[in-house]
Amino acid sequence: MLLLETKSLCKKFGGLSALADVNFKIPQGEIISLIGPNGAGKTTFFNLLTGVTEPSSGDIFFSGERINGFSPHWITARGIARTFQNIRLFPNMTALENGMIGRHCRTRNEVLSALFRTPAFYREESEIEKSAKEILSFVGLLPMGNVLAKNLPYGDQRKLEIARALLTEPRLLLLDEPTAGMNPSESEELILLIEKIRQQGISILLIEHQMRVVMGISDHIIVLDHGIKIAEGDPHQIQTNPDVIEAYLGGHHA
């Protein structure tokens, strides 16, 4: 089943074309990698999918529903979550508290319930904490639940960002360079976690510079260069594509 599709997606910043006529499909339950040199338009594409910016033209469909032009909060509630290239945790809050924040997009209680600390508010907060602990356990961070985010090892901070995204109950998870700055051991752990997430039925779109990770984990790969889709296919097809070799694999890695 097709989960997400873009049709002739374009984004211009002034006279600069960051994306040009990008057609893109993500089937349910697959791991798709989006690769290309720096400036290829990968993060711009993520920002369009999540409502951070609006496309100049073209459309984005999620489960058959047109989603471009809506707010990031609305899109998150529909089932798209993301992490960022630069970690965006709340450093002076615990791992558990960071996770609970991710869960609040699914809350039902209104502001007045929170202000007056009604029984319904406390029940829901208890449910949120329970859900956060379950996801922390899923990513292997439950023993670190009371540790401040800023005191977690780097690899665990990355996992916490993923946990917080998972707590929004996504059907599509966007990971922006999740192994950036990791040592080989941490990268291997993260690859196993990504596979584990996919086994839960969650589709994954991955921006990643480490070709070893991309080729080892992807069902399908899309290649951008200067905002244009130059190739797509399985890992073997991408590795042997002359346009990709020239534009990316044979060039300088970021």
Work out whether the CA dihedral 60, 195, 210, 140 comes out positive or negative.
positive
Could you tell me the two tokens for 15? 């006279």
**Locus of tokens 């059907």:** 171
pLDDT tens per residue across span 126-163: 889 999 999 999 999 999 999 999 999 999 999 999 99
Q: Which amino acid is at 128?
A: I
Residues of the chain with pLDDT > 70, as a percent, come to 90
Residues of the chain with pLDDT > 90, as a percent, come to 72
Q: Angle between the 119-139 and 95-103 helix axes, to the nearest 10 degrees?
A: 120
In this structure, are residues 81 and 168 in contact, taking their beta carbons and an 8 Å threshold? Answer: yes
Of the candidates 211, 206, 210, 208, which has an alpha carbon nearest to the alpha carbon of residue 239? 211
Please name each of the domains of the chain with its CATH number.
1-79+170-186+199-254 (3.40.50.300), 91-169 (no CATH)
pLDDT tens per residue across span 240-251: 999 888 876 555
Q: How far apart are CA 102 and CA 201, in angstroms?
A: 19
Of the candidates 31, 66, 13, which has an alpha carbon nearest to the alpha carbon of residue 194? 31
Q: How far apart are CA 197 and CA 117, in angstroms?
A: 35
Could you tell me the two tokens for 40? 């290829």
Q: What global pTM score does this model have?
A: 0.88
Name the percent of the chain in helix, strand, coil, to the closest 5.
45, 25, 30
Q: How confident is the model at residue 253 (pLDDT cuts 50, 70, 90)?
A: very low
Q: How confident is the model at residue 209 (pLDDT cuts 50, 70, 90)?
A: confident
Q: How far apart are CA 175 and CA 190, in angstroms?
A: 11
Q: How far apart are CA 44 and CA 51, in angstroms?
A: 11
